[in-house]
A = this chain, B = another copy of it.
Amino acid sequence: MISIGIDVGSVAAKAAAYDGEKIIATALLPTGWSPKESGGQLLKEIMGDLNITRDDISTIVGTGYGRVSLSFIDKKVTEITCHGRGAHYIDPNIRTVIDIGGQDSKIIKLNDKGTVIDFLMNDKCAAGTGRFLQVMANALEVDVGDLSELAAGTEPANINSMCTVFAESEVVSLMAEGASKEAIASGLLHSVCNKTYSLASRMGVENKVFFSGGVSRNKKLGELLSNKLGVSIISTDESQFLGAIGAAIIGYK
């Protein structure tokens, strides 16, 4: 039997399938307007990939903010718990997860069994989240996926405001003054790094640190965080599936 985890986030919906030993498939879709539709679509996709039917699935666990809309799931689990379990699967030595998603950021502390022992979350303020970078990439007229490369090897422009709205005005002014996109991109990543640092340092960060969430694809930001926190930070391509992986594992029986 196989268990499935579905993690419907604000930007992307993710699914993972677990066979009791390892993750055997993952899938990803934009969340779009309807978490229910994207969740259902993912389930179909992963069953198609694995060439299985609903009868081969023991449990489906939903997580992420859109989990409440999923009518076909057996169980709902908070994303904090799922992220913890997912990180433990990837590396049992992980003790801290820094997760930066499209609309929130979280710091999660784990014990050696992958159980969450503490966490802090910011979901009230767009600063320091993927949304901040999205707004800024827009102002800079670049793709958000290019910010990391743009910022690499450049001294950061000074961006004083943490607030997304005020920082956006600063970016517009900096461009008008002729600052390079590279320097501005670097300044923006420093801003997200500082905001994350101030969240993380309220709880303390223990090795190993895993960087997850959509924003973890930004390699340069990972480097900045690692320097600022004075720890080494790991991240993998699986990191955006952390919640789905954890949900699948929790659902397995």
Could you tell me which A residues sit within 8 Å of B by CB distance? 103, 124-126, 131-132, 135, 161-166
Are A165's CB and B131's CB within 8 A? yes
Q: In the complex, which residues of chain B have a beta carbon less than 8 angstroms from the beta carbon of A161?
A: 124
Are A124's CB and B163's CB within 8 A? yes
Tell me how far the C-beta of A144 lies from the nearest C-beta in chain B, rounded to whole angstroms: 15
- CA distance in complex: A126, B164 (Å): 8
Are A126's CB and B162's CB within 8 A? no
Are A164's CB and B164's CB within 8 A? yes
Tell me how far the C-beta of A241 lies from the nearest C-beta in chain B, rounded to whole angstroms: 25
Copies of this chain? 2
Are B165's CB and A165's CB within 8 A? yes
Tell me how far the C-beta of A80 lies from the nearest C-beta in chain B, rounded to whole angstroms: 20
- CA distance in complex: A164, B166 (Å): 10
- CA distance in complex: A166, B165 (Å): 11
- CA distance in complex: A126, B126 (Å): 11
Q: Which residue of B lies closest to A164 (CB)?
A: B165
Tell me how far the C-beta of A44 lies from the nearest C-beta in chain B, rounded to whole angstroms: 27
Q: In the complex, which residues of chain B have a beta carbon less than 8 angstroms from the beta carbon of A131?
A: 165-166
9 nearest CB pairs, A to B: A126-B165, A164-B165, A126-B163, A125-B163, A131-B165, A126-B166, A124-B163, A135-B165, A124-B162
- CA distance in complex: A125, B162 (Å): 8
Q: Which residue of B lies closest to A131 (CB)?
A: B165
- CA distance in complex: A125, B163 (Å): 6
- B103, B162, B163: the one within 8 Å of A166 (CB): B103
- CA distance in complex: A226, B162 (Å): 31
- CA distance in complex: A165, B135 (Å): 9
Tell me how far the C-beta of A130 lies from the nearest C-beta in chain B, rounded to whole angstroms: 11
Q: In the complex, which residues of chain B have a beta carbon less than 8 angstroms from the beta carbon of A126?
A: 163-166
Tell me how far the C-beta of A68 lies from the nearest C-beta in chain B, rounded to whole angstroms: 15
- CA distance in complex: A163, B126 (Å): 7
Listed A/B pairs (18) with beta-carbon separation below 8 Å: A103-B166, A124-B161, A124-B162, A124-B163, A125-B125, A125-B163, A126-B163, A126-B164, A126-B165, A126-B166, A131-B165, A131-B166, A132-B165, A135-B165, A163-B164, A164-B164, A164-B165, A165-B165
